[in-house]
């Protein structure tokens, strides 16, 4: 059984009501809808004003000639002021509430050619909000060489190919922008960036970026800011700060500012970073390093958009979006009382873990291209690899033995060094070999490199008191543990020599006991690896 | 099951209506595909749906795909059932086209039928009632058809609402030949004016008198008051020993009456310059009855694409051989 087609429309007080024979030569929008060869309307729900009652007889008779099977249903619809949006919307809404719509068996078309513009707007709004369960239909008057026309206005924009394609194109462009134009190939990473794009353009809530140092948190925060600025979603500046650099009173004052004379040496008033970020974006990297007092103040600033600068009498206002970065296990920190749970709950809303470079080996090549391009741009000279050198470097870079401990920071440093030393702007085999040795040395050594936090510090906290002798050993053990999927696998790797000699099988137990000396459990190490 | 590709020939509504009429007439199942493919609004439109409903009504057919814009229809007739019918055509669509669909089967039915058709009787996209009454039905009667058409109300575009009564008796059609025009017997020009000033029709008739030199007694102005909307049509009839030919033109808003008249006059002059007795529209309409008669022949001016499509479609349904022979600009169509 075919669904019945029902038209619901207002009789136009001027256009629909001419009388006399000439009316057939005029364009009557409501009547014209029944004369189309490709549109068959079973029922016309006529919305009309009381004073048009007389004209309705004629209108129905005329429609009956051109559409003999159509039935009619009249609804009197009187507006005191048809230009008053509140009144028109209210009357249409109560019609929508009371009309016995039967979408299982009937399709509804709402005619928006007649009525005041306010009426048309209200029809549109109610259709869009699905109070009126159907589609909009519009008629147009005849032109010179063609008769009148009709068309359905479908409000589902995704159904229009051109618009959908445009949306997709713009979105793809924004994602590419976030990735700094690097054509990354790692599927989980690309998916994550697509999600970040969606949230970045749609939300002003805090964003939390996790991931090892050098994974690109800062770069991403900057791109998010640029994207929002291009979309005119932020007017204020991007303010970046690494919380690890803030200590004691200086931290409070740097973040929240101080009044003149707030403490010894506070000679002038200071606005503080939060106030600088007003209307813009605040990137707090290493947010786990923030002291508890600063955390409390930050929470208030996020919730109330107000806070008290040091030594001030009055609160100040600042409205900013927060992006927080961390490499720490914030929930564990919160559990152990080092991080405020309420603050964490506030910022752990949109959380993404940026993978390290070793987990995105397929992205090494596009990032290498990017770094070369950037170097060439900054130094205004073109640098390229020769073919063998490039193959050698990529082989090394993608091998499992390359840990890329400093992630993109390592890659950036490697390219910068090779490019700087490249004779005639051409990186050759010699340069690559030298760089490979340099990288290997830095990854092998206990030396974590500048800014790098060792595994021991990550697992036990930076302030743990430990003999250097134990630290070096534990660092090595933890590295193996992180590479291994199970404790047995780690045990086998760590005790392979003694195992061959003694043919014992309790490697896992031995490892467990070793870790216990530092109050560590296997799952502590692994959760640290796998994230919040 | 006969399968007809609806995009063949002109690929319009004609092949749909003709196929439905022939399936009903011959009692064969029909699948119509690619209905009106390639047209701006493809598939079945309202006027085609009405023809489909009418054909299904007189044949008690099972129908699949009878919906607006459908491009695929399966039609299984169960017989031809004479009786009293009433069909309404919306959009001022031509009731005459529906009549052309159901008339051949109703002539082949066992008993008499009475059909009331409502809708457009004078629609520019089809031969007007007057052509059917004065040109086509007389030709049918010569073949043994027992058909009577009566106009009860004029239905012009865009209001439609005309009404027509059709009485059909079972008819055994016999082969006839319409090969020569013979002596000219009568000429008539009729200008119909509904809710329009008299001068519209008078100017059309004056133009006919000027260009065709027809005498005053052959010119008739008919003022029509029963139509629901204004309308104007000029009908030229040329009757000779070989039969009647007709030429029509419809008045349109913004087109001077003289130019409207010229359209019918030009067609009549082409006809008069040749010697074939059958005009282009009648040629089209004669194909099915002549095939039903199983024989006969006629001579007409250049065959239209419409007529050639008609012949092709009839060949799919009926055994009667149809041969087309060219004779200069004219053509001879031979049945049986």
CATH 3.40.50.10770 fits A4-156, yes or no: yes
Residue A15 has pLDDT above 60, yes or no: yes
CB count within 10 Å of CB B243 equals 20
Cβ atoms of B175 and B296 within 8 Å: the answer is yes
Burial class (CB in 10 A: 0-12, 13-18, 19+), A336: exposed
Residue A453 has pLDDT above 70, yes or no: no
User: Residues spanned by CATH 3.40.50.10770 within chain A?
Assistant: 4-156
Cβ atoms of B230 and A25 within 8 Å: the answer is yes
Summarised one tens digit per residue, pLDDT across range A264-308 is: 777 788 889 999 999 999 999 999 999 999 999 999 999 999 999
H/E stretch holding B191 reads: strand B184-194
b/e per residue, B64-90, with b = 16+ CB within 10 A? ebbebebbebbbbbeebbbeebebbbb
What DSSP string runs through B33-66? ESTTTTSSS-S--HHHHHHHHHHHHHHT-EEE--
| Distance of alpha carbon A139 from alpha carbon A114, whole angstroms | 9
| Distance of alpha carbon B190 from alpha carbon B236, whole angstroms | 6
| Domains B1-81 and B82-173 are alike in CATH topology | no
| Distance of alpha carbon B146 from alpha carbon A93, whole angstroms | 61
Strands A306-307 and A316-317: antiparallel
- B75: alpha, beta or left, given left = phi > 0 and alpha = psi -120 to 50? beta
Helices A522-530, A507-516: inter-axial angle, 10-degree rounding: 80
Query: Which residues of chain A are within 8 Å of residue B92 when distances are taken between CB atoms?
Result: 35, 65-66
Structure tokens at A255: 């973040």
Best A18, A28, A66, A150 member to test B by mutation, with max B CBs in 10 Å, is: A66
User: Residues spanned by CATH 3.40.50.300 within chain A?
Assistant: 171-353
Summarised one tens digit per residue, pLDDT across range A509-523 is: 888 888 888 888 887
Helices A364-379, A407-421: inter-axial angle, 10-degree rounding: 50
Task: Name the residue facing B41 among A21, A37, A62 (closest C-beta).
Answer: A37
Best A34, A36, A39, A65 member to test B by mutation, with max B CBs in 10 Å, is: A65
Quote the CATH superfamily of domain B82-173. RNA 3'-terminal phosphate cyclase domain (3.65.10.20)
pLDDT band of residue A462 (cuts 50, 70, 90) is: low
Query: Which residues, 6+ apart, have CB-to-CB distance to B321 below 8 Å?
Result: B335, B336
Strands B73-76 and B113-119: unpaired
The domain defined by B1-81 folds into: Translation Initiation Factor IF3 (3.30.110)
B293 Cα to chain A: minimum distance (Å): 35
Task: Find which of A247-251, B39-43, B71-75 is predicted with most confidence, using mean pLDDT.
Answer: B71-75
What percentage of residues in chain B have a pLDDT greater than 70? Answer: 100
| Distance of alpha carbon B202 from alpha carbon A340, whole angstroms | 98
Up-side HSE of residue B146: CA atoms within 13 Å toward CB?
13
Helices A217-230, A161-178: inter-axial angle, 10-degree rounding: 140
Annotated catalytic sites of B, by residue? 306
Q: CATH for B275-336, among 3.30.1370, 3.40.720, 3.40.50, 3.40.1350?
A: 3.30.1370
Q: In what order do the strands lie in the sheet with A135-140?
A: A71-76, A43-48, A4-10, A106-111, A135-140, A149-153
CATH 3.20.20.80 fits B184-269, yes or no: no
Residue A451 has pLDDT above 60, yes or no: no
Q: CATH for A171-353, among 3.40.1450.10, 1.10.1330.10, 3.30.1180.10, 3.40.50.300?
A: 3.40.50.300
Judge whether A35 is closer than 8 Å to chain B, CB to CB. yes
With H, G, I as helix, E, B as strand and everything else as coil, classify residue A117.
helix
Cβ atoms of B160 and B120 within 8 Å: the answer is yes
Query: Which residues of chain B are within 8 Å of residue A35 when distances are taken between CB atoms?
Result: 90-92, 158
Q: Number of A:B CB contacts under 8 A?
A: 61
What percentage of residues in chain A have a pLDDT greater than 70? Answer: 95
| Distance of alpha carbon A404 from alpha carbon A400, whole angstroms | 10
Q: Chain A 259-288, CB below 8 Å of chain B: which residues?
A: none
Biggest CA pair distance of chain B: 56
Structure tokens at A349: 């809303």
Summarised one tens digit per residue, pLDDT across range A349-360 is: 999 999 988 888
What is the dotted CATH code of the domain comprising A357-444?
1.10.8
Domain boundaries, chain B: 1-81, 82-173, 184-269, 275-336
Cβ atoms of B332 and B297 within 8 Å: the answer is yes
Q: What is the complex's ipTM, to 2 decimals?
A: 0.87
Question: How open is the CA angle A119-A125-A127, to the nearest 5 degrees?
Answer: 100
Mean pLDDT for chain A overall: 87
pTM of this structure: 0.64
């Amino acid at each position: 059984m075919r669904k019945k087609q029902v038209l619901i429309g207002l009789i136009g007080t001027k256009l629909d009501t001419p009388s006399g024979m000439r009316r057939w030569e005029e364009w009557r929008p409501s009547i014209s809808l029944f004369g189309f060869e490709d549109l068959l309307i079973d029922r016309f729900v006529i919305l009309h004003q009381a004073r048009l009652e007389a004209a309705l007889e004629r209108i129905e008779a005329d429609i009956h000639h051109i559409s003999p099977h159509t039935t009619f249903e009249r609804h009197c619809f009187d507006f005191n002021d048809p230009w008053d949006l509140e009144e028109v919307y209210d009357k249409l809404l109560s019609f929508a509430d009371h009309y016995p719509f039967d979408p299982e068996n009937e399709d509804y078309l709402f005619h928006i050619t007649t009525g005041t513009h306010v009426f048309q707007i209200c029809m549109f709004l109610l259709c869009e909000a699905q109070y009126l369960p159907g589609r909009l239909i519009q008629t147009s008057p005849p032109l010179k060489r063609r008769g009148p026309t009709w068309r359905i206005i479908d409000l589902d924009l995704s159904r229009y190919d051109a618009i959908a394609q445009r949306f997709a194109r713009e979105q793809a462009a924004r994602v590419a922008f976030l990735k700094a134009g690097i054509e990354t190939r790692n599927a989980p990473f690309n998916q994550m960036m697509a999600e970040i794009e969606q949230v970045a353009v749609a939300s002003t809530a805090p964003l939390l970026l996790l991931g090892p140092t050098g994974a690109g948190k800062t770069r991403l925060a900057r791109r998010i800011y640029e994207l929002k600025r291009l979309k005119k979603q932020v007017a204020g500046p991007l303010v970046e700060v690494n919380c690890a650099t803030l200590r004691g009173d200086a931290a409070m004052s740097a973040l929240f500012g101080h009044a003149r004379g707030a403490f010894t040496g506070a000679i002038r008033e200071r606005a503080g970073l939060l106030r600088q970020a007003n209307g813009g974006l605040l990137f707090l990297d290493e947010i786990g390093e923030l002291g508890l007092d600063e955390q409390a103040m930050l929470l208030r600033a996020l919730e109330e958009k107000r806070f008290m600068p040091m030594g001030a009498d009055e609160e100040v206002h600042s409205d900013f979006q927060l992006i927080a970065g961390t490499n720490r296990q914030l929930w564990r920190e919160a559990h152990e009382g080092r991080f405020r749970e309420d603050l964490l709950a506030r910022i752990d809303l949109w959380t993404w873990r940026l993978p390290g470079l070793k987990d995105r080996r397929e992205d090494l090549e596009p990032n290498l291209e990017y770094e070369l391009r950037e170097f060439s741009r900054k130094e205004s000279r073109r640098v390229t690899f020769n073919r063998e050198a490039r193959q050698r470097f990529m082989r090394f870079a993608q091998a499992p033995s390359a840990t890329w401990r400093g992630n993109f920071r390592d890659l950036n440093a490697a390219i910068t060094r090779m490019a700087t030393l490249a004779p005639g702007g051409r990186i050759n085999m010699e340069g690559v070999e030298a760089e490979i040795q340099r990288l290997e040395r830095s990854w092998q050594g206990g030396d974590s490199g500048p800014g790098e936090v060792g595994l021991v510090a990550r697992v036990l906290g930076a302030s743990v008191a430990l003999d250097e002798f134990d630290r070096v050993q534990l660092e090595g053990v933890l590295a193996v543990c992180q590479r291994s999927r199970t404790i047995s696998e780690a045990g086998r790797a760590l005790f392979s020599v003694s195992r061959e000699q003694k043919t014992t099988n309790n490697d896992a137990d031995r490892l467990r006991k070793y870790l216990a000396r530092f109050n560590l459990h296997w799952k502590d190490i692994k959760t640290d690896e796998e994230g919040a | 099951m006969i399968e007809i590709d609806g995009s063949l020939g002109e690929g319009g509504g004609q092949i749909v209506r003709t196929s439905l009429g022939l399936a009903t007439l011959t009692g064969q199942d029909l699948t119509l595909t690619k209905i009106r493919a390639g047209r701006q609004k493809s598939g079945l439109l309202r006027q085609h749906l009405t023809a489909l409903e009418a054909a299904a009504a007189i044949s008690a057919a099972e129908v699949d795909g009878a919906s607006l814009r459908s491009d695929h229809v399966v039609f299984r007739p169960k017989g031809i059932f004479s009786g009293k019918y009433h069909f309404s055509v919306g959009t001022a669509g031509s009731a005459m086209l529906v009549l052309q669909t159901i008339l051949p089967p109703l002539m082949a039915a066992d008993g008499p039928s009475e059909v009331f058709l409502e809708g457009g009787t004078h629609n520019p996209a089809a031969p007007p009632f007057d052509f059917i009454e004065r040109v086509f039905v007389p030709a049918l009667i010569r073949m043994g058809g027992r058909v009577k058409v009566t106009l009860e109300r004029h239905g012009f575009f865009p209001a439609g609402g005309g009404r027509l009564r059709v009485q059909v008796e079972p008819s055994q059609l016999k082969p006839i030949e319409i090969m020569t025009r013979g002596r000219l017997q009568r000429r008539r020009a009729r200008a119909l004016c509904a809710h329009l000033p008299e001068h519209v029709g008078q100017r059309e008739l004056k133009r006919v008198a000027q260009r065709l030199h027809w005498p005053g007694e052959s010119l008739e102005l008919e003022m029509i008051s029963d139509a629901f909307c204004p309308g104007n049509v000029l009908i030229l009839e040329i009757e000779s020993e070989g039969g009647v030919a007709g030429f029509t033109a419809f008045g349109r808003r913004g087109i001077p009456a003289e130019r409207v008249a010229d359209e019918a006059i030009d067609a009549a002059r082409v006809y008069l310059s040749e010697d074939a007795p059958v005009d282009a529209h009648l040629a089209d309409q004669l194909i099915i009855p002549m095939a039903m008669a199983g024989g006969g022949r006629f001579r007409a001016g250049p065959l239209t694409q419409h007529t050639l499509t008609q012949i092709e479609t009839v060949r799919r349904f009926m055994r009667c051989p149809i041969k087309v022979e060219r004779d200069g600009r004219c053509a001879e169509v031979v049945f049986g």
